[in-house]
Amino acid sequence: MPSSIVLSDVSFAWPDGTAVFDHLDLALGAETYALIGANGAGKSTLLGLIAGRLRPASGSVTVAGGAATTEVGVVTQDPQSDPSATVAQALNIHEIRCAIKRIENGSVDPQDFDAVGDDWGVEERAIGLLGQMGLPRDLDRPVGAMSGGEATLLAIVAALLANPTILLLDEPTNNLDTDSRARLFDAIDLFAGTVVVVSHDLELLERVDATVELYRGHVRLFGGPYSQYREIVDAEQEAAEAAVATAAGDLRKQRREMSEALIKLDRRARTGATAEREKRVPKIVAHNRRSEAQVSAGKLRNAHRDDVASAATRLDEAREDIRADRSARIVVPTPEVAPRAQIIVDDRLRVDGPERVALVGPNGSGKSTLIADLIARETVVVPYAFVPQRITFPDPARSIAEHLARSHPDIPTQEVRAHLARFLFRGARADRALGELSGGERLRVALADALLGDPTPRLLILDEPTNNLDLDTVTQLVDALEAWTGALLVVSHDAGFLDRIGIERRVSPGAADGTPATSPGQTGPGRTDPEHPAAEADR
């Protein structure tokens, strides 16, 4: 029997009553699916329901596979293991390995045989999967020695080692370098069961068989990868915007006709009153005419009011189909930076003027370390804003507005709120607690905090900014960075993202001596173009 996932009339709400899904139906077969939606839409919650870690308030979730017992493998965002644990312990095979060793040394204890079951080759399979993922084949290696990317790959190995028929991956490319991402893609392609992957990685989203969208508590299944989904949604949005324009025009027309009708009724009423006052008609006739006119006028007014109300309702309904995320834009400052202005003056990396530079390279090559060292040594010679890879807040219970006000006590509250509005935290949204925010919202808070103040930063430094972001937030970030007029230094493994934000130069820190590796045509440390304004000084 092929693997499958079936959700039938599923509803789910958090203990505080917040509804996530309502009467959701979904059927997935033995293919690879992308699960997309805004931060907070419920993607991780849906994975938790499929995995059995959460229970629906109503309805049913059924998973099936070719084995007698279906295994569901789950890899969460930023998987964490005990740093003191070994790789074998993280893979959940430590007890089996110990039992096998005891049996090989002569043990006949039934508990040892029960622990092993039929999985006598688990060690060889584990070593093979570690090699397939590009990880060291040492099962006794401590997990604490691994990078974030290696920890993600290790979690994927642990999931695959259990021989699942269904594989659920939540942002699996976070922290993965180019080679590791390629290995992950290969592993997904080779997986024979059902794969559901939550990701903002466009390259991964183009490799799926179908796309599942969560939007406003409902789910839709689209055949094909993300690009096909985007074409369909964009066409729907164009139609929805046209419907709004038509409905708005109809509402204006109905209001105009009602206004014209009321003017005519008022004119007739004045004419009748004048005739009655001047006694040009008998009193009883005038009275009857006035009564008939009032009844007729009342009916006409009600008819026009109904027409206006209906037109307003149609406009409201048309507006419901417009996605707010299409028009949401982050507004960043636009500092003036001269083409030859010194930004970073360091033997390992030189940045001049409003350059856009990316630090690239495999995990562990020293990208984040180089940024930290540039800042610590004060070789960044202009005001700068830095948003780290892991965004934390000292007091998660504090509101967004309170957080920025405490970070910038010299700036008036009104100015703080106006600044937050430019980062899409308008009105009551600025009063939300930091601990309630999604990944994209946390990034926007960190950006707003870093870019607030005087003088305005001339350099923006971002370390893996797209980790844990939904696709709409990535688009918002791209738009904001395209509008940024200062210098830009970005660490990212996402080549598509770097292309979209107009990166001019890619620099790879050296693995051994800290000297950046240079691309063909570079003329010095971190320098790519002999025509660059500072190239003469470099030579």
User: Which of 298, 326, 354 finishes a domain?
Assistant: 326
Higher-confidence position of 473 and 401 = 401
pLDDT > 50? residue 522: no
Residue 125, class by beta-carbon neighbours within 10 Å (0-12 exposed, 13-18 middle, 19+ buried)?
A: middle
Nearest to 364 by CA among 187, 175, 143, 183: 175
Q: Do residue 208 and residue 243 come from a single domain?
A: no
* 351 Cβ contact partners less than 8 Å away, ≥ 6 residues apart: 343, 344, 357, 459, 487, 489, 526
Query: Do 201 and 152 belong to one domain?
Result: yes
**Is 337 contained in some domain?**
no
Confidence of residue 276 (pLDDT cuts 50, 70, 90): low
Q: Please write the tens of the pLDDT for every residue from 100-110.
A: 888 888 888 88
- φ, ψ of residue 517 to 5 degrees: the values are -75, 145
Domain housing 322: 233-326
Least confident of 31-40, 142-151, 463-472, 504-513: 504-513
Reference 207, options 244, 169, 254; nearest CA is 169
Mean pLDDT over 221-244 rounds to: 87
Whether 495 contacts 358, CB under 8 Å: no
Complete DSSP assignment for 401-417: HHHHHHH-TTS-HHHHH
* Report for 50-54, 118-122, 149-153: range of highest mean pLDDT: 50-54
Which pLDDT does position 220 carry in this prediction? 92
Burial class (CB in 10 A: 0-12, 13-18, 19+), 192: exposed
Q: Which residue has the higher pLDDT, 282 or 157?
A: 157
- Which strands, in side-by-side order, build the sheet including 487-491? 384-387, 459-463, 487-491, 356-359, 505-507
Task: Indicate the Cα dihedral angle 115, 120, 124, 126, nearest 10°.
Answer: -30
Residue whose token pair is 């607690």: 433
Tell me the pLDDT tens digit for each residue of 326-345.
Answer: 556 788 889 999 998 999 99
Q: Is the pLDDT of residue 31 over 60?
A: yes
Helices then strands, each counted (H, E), the chain: 17, 16
Kindly state the average pLDDT of the residues 133-156: 87
Determine the Cα angle at 84 with ends 81 and 87, to 5°: 65
**Do 10 and 60 belong to one domain?**
yes
Tokens (6 digits) for 179: 């080679």
Total tally of structural domains belonging to the chain? 3
Cis bond upstream, residue 455 (ω within 30): yes
Residue type for 530, please?
P
Least confident of 101-105, 154-158, 210-214, 252-256: 252-256
Q: For residues 306 and 107, give the distance between their C-alpha atoms in angstroms, rounded to a whole number.
A: 88
DSSP label at residue 432:
S
In a domain? residue 347: yes
For residue 472, is it within any domain?
A: yes
Assess if residue 368 is contained within a domain: yes
From CA 326, how far away is CA 164, in angstroms rounded?
38
364 and 489 in a common domain: yes
Residues in Cβ contact with 302 at an 8 Å cutoff, skipping those fewer than 6 apart: none
| Residue 268 predicted with pLDDT over 70 | no
* 302 and 390 both lie in a single domain: no
Kindly report which listed range (220-234, 323-337, 460-474, 519-533) carries the lowest average pLDDT score: 519-533
At residue 74 the predicted structure's pLDDT band, cuts being 50, 70 and 90, is very high
Read off the CATH number of the domain in which 496 is found. 3.40.50.300
Sign for the CA dihedral angle at 405, 411, 412, 414 comes to negative
CA atoms within 13 A on the CB side of 115: 18
Does residue 281 share a domain with residue 360?
no
Q: Above 70 in pLDDT, residue 521?
A: no
Answer yes or no: do 220 and 237 share one domain.
Answer: no
> Do 73 and 99 sit in the same domain of this protein?
yes
In a domain, 156, yes or no: yes
Asked if 296 and 433 sit in the same domain, the reply is no
Identify the CA nearest to 469 among candidates 152, 178, 174.
174
Q: What is the mean pLDDT of residues 448-465?
A: 92
* Residue 532, both tokens: 């660059």
Pair 143, 82: CB distance under 8 Å: yes
Q: What is the pLDDT, as a whole number, of residue 67?
A: 46
Handedness of CA 425, 427, 430, 433 (dihedral sign): negative
Residue 534 pLDDT class (50, 70, 90 cuts): very low
Examine the pLDDT at 532 and tell me if it is beyond 80.
no
Look at the pTM and tell me if it is higher than 0.85.
Answer: no
pLDDT: is 232 or 291 the higher one? Answer: 232
Among 170, 189, 224, the domain-final residue is 224
* Residues 397 and 435: beta-carbon distance below 8 Å: yes
Query: Are residue 220 and residue 238 in the same domain, yes or no?
Result: no
529 alpha-carbon distance from chain centroid: 35
Residue 251 pLDDT level (bands cut at 50, 70, 90): confident
393 in a structural domain: yes
The C-alpha angle with vertex 393 and arms to 390 and 398, in degrees rounded to 5, equals 150
What's the mean pLDDT in 61-86?
77
Which residue has better confidence, 396 or 242? 396
Residues 244 and 199 reside in one and the same domain: no
**Whole-number Å distance between alpha carbons of 151 and 171:** 13
Could you say which DSSP state residue 198 is in?
E
Q: 60-64, 207-211, 308-312, 416-420: lowest mean pLDDT where?
A: 308-312
Has residue 331 been placed in a domain?
no
Q: What is the mean pLDDT of residues 200-215?
A: 91
- Among 282, 301, 326, identify where a domain stops: 326
pLDDT of 325 reads 57
Whether residue 332 is contained in a domain is answered as no
Same domain, 359 and 422: yes
The count of other CB atoms within 10 Å of the CB of residue 225 is 19
Who contacts 243 (Cβ-Cβ below 8 Å, separation ≥6)?
318, 321
pLDDT bin (cut points 50, 70, 90) of residue 529 is very low
- The whole-number average pLDDT for the span 274-282 is 59
Which percentage of the chain shows pLDDT scores above 90? 40
pLDDT bucket at 376, cuts 50 / 70 / 90: very high
Give, in order, the Cα–Cα distances in Å from 295 to each of 92, 204, 281, 289. 84, 68, 20, 10
pLDDT reading at 466 higher than 80: yes
Residue 531 is predicted with a pLDDT of: 33
Residue 499 pLDDT > 70:
yes
Work out the average pLDDT over 299-313.
76
For residue 530, the model assigns a pLDDT of 30
* Residue 327: predicted pLDDT: 54
Rounded to the nearest integer, the mean pLDDT of the chain is: 83
Confidence of residue 272 (pLDDT cuts 50, 70, 90): low
d(CA 226, CA 36): 9
Average pLDDT over residues 118-139: 90
Cβ burial, residue 230 (10 Å; 0-12/13-18/19+): middle
